[in-house]
Amino acid sequence: MIPFLSSDDPFPPVNLALQVPNGLLAAGADLSTERILAAYAEGIFPWFGDDDPILWWSPDPRMVLYASEVHVSRSLGKVLRSDRFRVTADTAFAAVVRACAEARRDHEGTWITAEMEEAYNELARIGHGHSVEVWKGERLVGGLYGVAIGRMFFGESMYSAESGGSKVALAALAHRLRQWDWPLVDAQVENDHLLSLGAESWPREQFLDAVADLTALPEPIGPWDQRFGTVLAAELAQVPQAG
């Protein structure tokens, strides 16, 4: 059994999370900005469907990406050099979240419920939620979003409306995070797409140690649009490629 939390209850220790299903820790509480930020700082994230209560997870192992080791294949390298795309950040947060929700609903069902959309839009409003947008001309063709605390980026979802869109977004994010000395991206749970991009599994304890260190580092809170700038093909072409 897992505890059902009221709004005032703290999260239980993550070592009490279930093994089956992997990482299920608690239910209930709310999706206030304070609750969500506290969850990420403790290695916990919300994930539930329309017909579920709010469910909180901390799986073991945990998938992570080193910003310096995001896998850029030769084919993606060609896309990056093709000058087809430009990449921005925090210029269309709500549109990226909505597109991620629609993409999941079309293919595998979504955990990005209306309640989740509202919560993450509020995180963006207060400067902790961030999106990376991939544009072809004036059309949004891919992107990702997540949450930043200190120098830790917690990835939530990504989508492509055109082949390579989400991979371009991740390559651009990794490029900027390297420049800012942000070493890690939380990728949550394993899937083939993440593995192809260079994600690896860490024991939960190792992940939690890294999160504690990185979230404690001082970083300015606020939109990334000016700080991130516009990433063009010529800049991304310098990203190291796998052989």
Within the chain, where are the H helices? Answer: 33-41, 74-81, 93-107, 114-125, 165-180, 192-196, 204-215, 225-228, 233-236
* pTM of the shown model: 0.92
Name the pairing type of β-strands 4-5 and 24-28: parallel
In whole angstroms, give the CA distance from residue 148 to residue 82. Answer: 30
Mean pLDDT of the 58-84 span? 81
Q: Which two tokens stand for residue 28?
A: 């209930």
Assign 243 a pLDDT band (cuts: 50, 70, 90).
very low
pLDDT tens digit string along 100-112?
Answer: 998 766 555 557 8
Please name each of the domains of the chain with its CATH number.
Answer: 4-59 (3.30.70.3550), 63-236 (3.40.630.70)
Could you tell me if 204 and 43 are in contact, meaning their C-beta atoms sit under 8 angstroms apart? yes
The DSSP call for residue 231 is B
d(CA 62, CA 187): 8
For tokens 């420049």, name the residue. Answer: 179
Contact assessment for residue 158 and residue 168, using Cβ atoms and an 8 Å cutoff = no
- pLDDT given for residue 234 in this prediction: 58
